Each structure stands twice: as C-alpha cells, then as structure tokens.
Amino acid sequence: MKNFDTVIIGAGVSGLTVARLLAQAGQRVVVLEARDRVGGRTWTERSGSFTCDRGASWIHGIDDNRLTAVVHDFGMRTVEFTVGSYQPDGRPIAYYDPAGKRLNDGAIREFADDVRNFDLHLAVSIDASEVGSTYLEAIEATLARLVWEPDRAERVREFLLHRSEEQYGVWAGDLDAHGLDDDIVDGDEVVFPDGFDQLSANLAEGIDVRLEHVVTRVARSAGRATVSSNQGEFAASNVVVTVPIGVLKSGTLAFDPPLPEWLTSAISGFEMNSFEKVFLRFPTRFWDKDVYAIRQQGDAGTWWHSWYDLTALDGVPTLLTFAAGPSAIETREWCDDRIVESVLQSLRGLYGERVVQPDQVLVTDWQSDPYSRGSYAYMKPGSTPGDHDLLATPVDGVLHFAGEATWTEDPATVTAALRSGHRAAENILGRKLQFRELADPL
C-alpha cells in the first residue's frame, strides 16, 4: 500500500488542477488515470498537419473567465472563433432556408432578432415553469403566448431545439427547463490551433500521474481513505473523485460505505449526453467564403444543420459538424463512412455537384468510451442548477468530488473543470488559492 496526502482519481483538467495546486502547496499527491493518456475529455489528435480536438475545442467566452488567464500563462496560442455557442448571429453565418435558398442579410437580421426577442419571453416561461418541466415545454409555452405565424414560429422552434442539441447534446424534451440557464457567453470565443490538450500537458508537468490505473473502489473511514485500482492500493487523508457522471452512474466505481442518499439523489438528476464531432477535410473549398458557419433551416436540417468552417486554423478547407442529441443516438452504431455520406448528402442539398469527397475525416465516439460514457452531463427534468454544486460537498471530511458537472455557473465546460478542481484544492487545504499559481513550475 502506497501512502499519500491526497489521491486524485482522473487526470482530466479538474483532477490535474487539484493535483497541481496541492503539489504546489507541498502535498504528496498522486493522480490515478484509467486511460493511457492525460487530458480526459480534452483530447487532441495529430495526424500530419491535422491537429484535431476530439473533445473540447472552445473557450466559450473569454471575458471574466479564469481559464483565459491560465491558457495565456501557459503560452497557448488561440484563434478567435465566436458562434461556437449556437448564437444566431454576431459573426457571418450563411443561412439557407428550408428550400436551400441562401437568406440575405436583412432576412438573417430579422430571424436573429426573432431569436433574441423569443429568448426574453422564454426566460419568463422558464422562471414560471413548474419543477420537473422540460425545456421543450418552456419553448412551446412561449410560442403559444407569442402567436407568431406558423413559418416564423417554426424557424425559431427548430433553432431552439438545435440549441439544446448542440449546447447540451440532448433533445429539448429530455432537458430540464433550467438546463440552459448557464448558457451565457461573455465576450469572444477562441479555439486552440495547437490543441486544447496543451492545457492538461502543462498542468501535468511535474505531477505523479499513474496511467492505466483503473480505480474500482474507494473505502473511507475516519480521516483516511483507501483507493483500489487494477494496479494496487493507495491510501491518503483525502481522495478527490473527478470521474464523469457517466462513470459514477455506471456502478463500476464502488464506494464503501456507500455514498449518502443526498449525494446519490443529486447524481441521479444528471445524465451523460450524446454528442459527437464529425470533421471533414477537403481538397478544395466549395462553400461560402468569409463565413464562420453554414446553417440549414427546415426539415433538411433535422440532423445535419450547422457546419463550422475551421479553415482558418491551418489553411486546409475543413468543416466541423455535430451529431447531437437524437442524431448522435441514431448514428451511434453507424460506421464512419455512412455518417460521412449522410453529412455529404446534406451538403449536396446546399452546394450540389460542387461538393467534393473529403480526403480526411474524423468521427468521435464518446458515447462508447467507458471512461466518459458520453460527452458531458445535462440536467434531467426535476434537477436544479444548484445540484451541480451539491455534488461537490465533501463527504465525511475525506471524500471530495470535482469535475465539470460539479460546477453550477458554467457546467459542461473546461472552465467548470478547472474551477471545480481549484475549489477542491481550497477545501482540502482550508485556505484560498490563487489561480495564477497554476502556471508556476513545480
């Protein structure tokens, strides 16, 4: 049995943040990671000139965001790429109507104004919604109040459904009415041309991380805990669990004694989503110039409706689209070729014969990954935003939880992972810690 001050389970951004802050404070820490790499749901693949973030890509709003300073301190390059949060406008977007005709600037402005106007009314519906009601019910209640003519209402309804799918990877009828309360973007958004994984690589520098250590059990007694893995046992005064909600719910990680009822009940209010990325690299560009994104309205866009032009990252014509919510569930068993052909078919509806075959594709599969079981957690009907923070309440003074789902203000993000890790370190040390220290060498 190896002894430490703190054992951290999971080498994603939250786990590495706790580990780094505690190590900087002089603690003996170890991070046990099931996979053969650090980073968790920040995972960059490099193939030739293609640097591709399979997991997180965006900082969704760089203003007033602790993550912005941290990536800057680590010297990570960023490229501005706003509209990554399903905004209706703000940057040039090529909108196509249900018949495949491109909307002119005036029509786009009217539509975006409708969405903004609708959002104001939607906020009132959500405030008035009953506990356990869904985002879809709030949308329908708002539409019923506004009495817009059918086409206008339908364009906004479908936009809101797609927002729920792209932002939370879930159909609006399965999301709590408050499930998108945190959906506020402060300032521009940025992506990382050299890969988001640089963050975890920097955080892990000098930390004792044990890869391919699958944790199966955490036993706790007064002031002490023992963590069992496939490669032996580790004992410590504190244990920080950062595994995703999907792993917590899977039963593959046992707690002895079992977790208290208030905690299991809060955990059961969340679910891992269905959200996958499809990257397509083309020999030539066939789509509209000078746009950040392309959007298809109407039935033709039920599955594939938004494509993000990533060409600016390395000069190779590249589109990114998402299988999100129902489409991710439906295509889960499909092979990559079938998914790509389905996406290309939708693009042909807009660009006809100009669409060429991609010479490189990448399709993710987070739903089948045993160490994430989805991309990030959403609020099931009946849960409340405050349940996120509840998950982080220490148990018996030895067991701590961190990770994206434990942060109320901006869950489902790397920012949430970082901030939750910082909070866990503060809880363990019983004092305030500066974020800026994270980038200091160990």
Is position 70 an interface residue for ligand FAD (rule: CB under 6 A)?
no
Q: Which of 29, 32, 392, 424 binds ligand FAD (CB under 6 A)?
A: 32
CA contacts within 13 A on the Cβ side of 136:
12
The nearest distance, CB 409 to ligand FAD, in angstroms, is 13
| Amino acid, single-letter form, for residue 245 | I
Give the count of residues interacting with ligand FAD (CB under 6 A): 42
Binding mask 36-65 for ligand FAD (x = CB under 6 A): ----xxx------------xxxx-x-----
**Stretch of 34-42, 157-165, 351-359, 426-434 contacting ligand FAD, by CB under 6 A:** 34-42
**Stretch of 105-113, 335-343, 406-414, 425-433 contacting ligand FAD, by CB under 6 A:** 406-414
In the complex with ligand FAD, the residue whose CB is nearer, 2 or 354, is 2
In the complex with ligand FAD, the residue whose CB is nearer, 55 or 269, is 55
The nearest distance, CB 388 to ligand FAD, in angstroms, is 12
Beta pairing partners, 4: 236
Classify the C-alpha dihedral 354-357-358-363 as positive or negative. Answer: positive
In the complex with ligand FAD, the residue whose CB is nearer, 174 or 404, is 404
The nearest distance, CB 416 to ligand FAD, in angstroms, is 6
Q: Please compute Rg for the chain using Cα positions.
A: 22
Q: Which residues does 195 contact at the CB level (< 8 Å), separation at least 6?
A: 44, 46, 51, 53
The span from the CA of 277 to the CA of 362, in Å, is 8
CA contacts within 13 A on the Cβ side of 7:
29
Nearest of 145, 146, 133, 130 to residue 173 by alpha carbon: 133
Tokens for 299, please give them: 């039935």
**Stretch of 13-21, 143-151, 290-298, 300-308 contacting ligand FAD, by CB under 6 A:** 13-21
The nearest distance, CB 39 to ligand FAD, in angstroms, is 7
Q: Which of 7, 13, 259, 379 binds ligand FAD (CB under 6 A)?
A: 13
- How would DSSP label each residue in 194-206? T-THHHHHHHHTT
Q: Is-contact 229 41, C-beta < 8 A?
A: no
Q: Which residue has the tokens 């920012």?
A: 415
Three-state DSSP string of 126-186: HHHCCCCCEHHHHHHHHHHHHCCCHHHHHHHHHHHHHHHHHHHCCCHHHCECCCCCCCCCC
The span from the CA of 222 to the CA of 396, in Å, is 7
Site for ligand FAD in 99-158 (CB under 6 A): none
In the complex with ligand FAD, the residue whose CB is nearer, 275 or 292, is 275
Binding mask 321-360 for ligand FAD (x = CB under 6 A): ----------------------------------------
Q: Is-contact 77 193, C-beta < 8 A?
A: yes
Is position 380 an interface residue for ligand FAD (rule: CB under 6 A)?
no
Q: Which residues does 105 contact at the CB level (< 8 Å), separation at least 6?
A: none
**Stretch of 118-126, 286-294, 304-312, 368-376 contacting ligand FAD, by CB under 6 A:** 368-376
Is position 243 an interface residue for ligand FAD (rule: CB under 6 A)?
yes
In the complex with ligand FAD, the residue whose CB is nearer, 374 or 381, is 374
Q: Which of 136, 161, 247, 424 binds ligand FAD (CB under 6 A)?
A: 247
In the complex with ligand FAD, the residue whose CB is nearer, 7 or 156, is 7
Is position 12 an interface residue for ligand FAD (rule: CB under 6 A)?
yes
Is position 203 an interface residue for ligand FAD (rule: CB under 6 A)?
no
> Is the peptide bond prior to 257 cis by the omega test (within 30 degrees of 0)?
yes
Q: Is 128 left (phi over 0), alpha (psi -120 to 50) or beta?
A: alpha
Binding mask 248-287 for ligand FAD (x = CB under 6 A): -----x---------------------x-x----------
Q: Which of 20, 35, 380, 400 binds ligand FAD (CB under 6 A)?
A: 35
Is position 376 an interface residue for ligand FAD (rule: CB under 6 A)?
yes
In the complex with ligand FAD, the residue whose CB is nearer, 160 or 253, is 253
Judged on CB neighbours under 10 Å (0-12, 13-18, 19+), 324 is: buried
The span from the CA of 76 to the CA of 72, in Å, is 6
The span from the CA of 175 to the CA of 377, in Å, is 11
The span from the CA of 407 to the CA of 423, in Å, is 9
How many Cβ atoms are within 10 Å of 147's Cβ, its own excluded? 7
Is position 11 an interface residue for ligand FAD (rule: CB under 6 A)?
yes
Q: Which of 214, 316, 429, 433 binds ligand FAD (CB under 6 A)?
A: 214
Q: Is-contact 196 414, C-beta < 8 A?
A: yes
**Contact residues for ligand FAD (CB under 6 A)?**
9-15, 32-35, 40-42, 55-58, 60, 214-215, 242-244, 247, 253, 275, 277, 364, 366, 371-372, 375-376, 403-404, 412-417
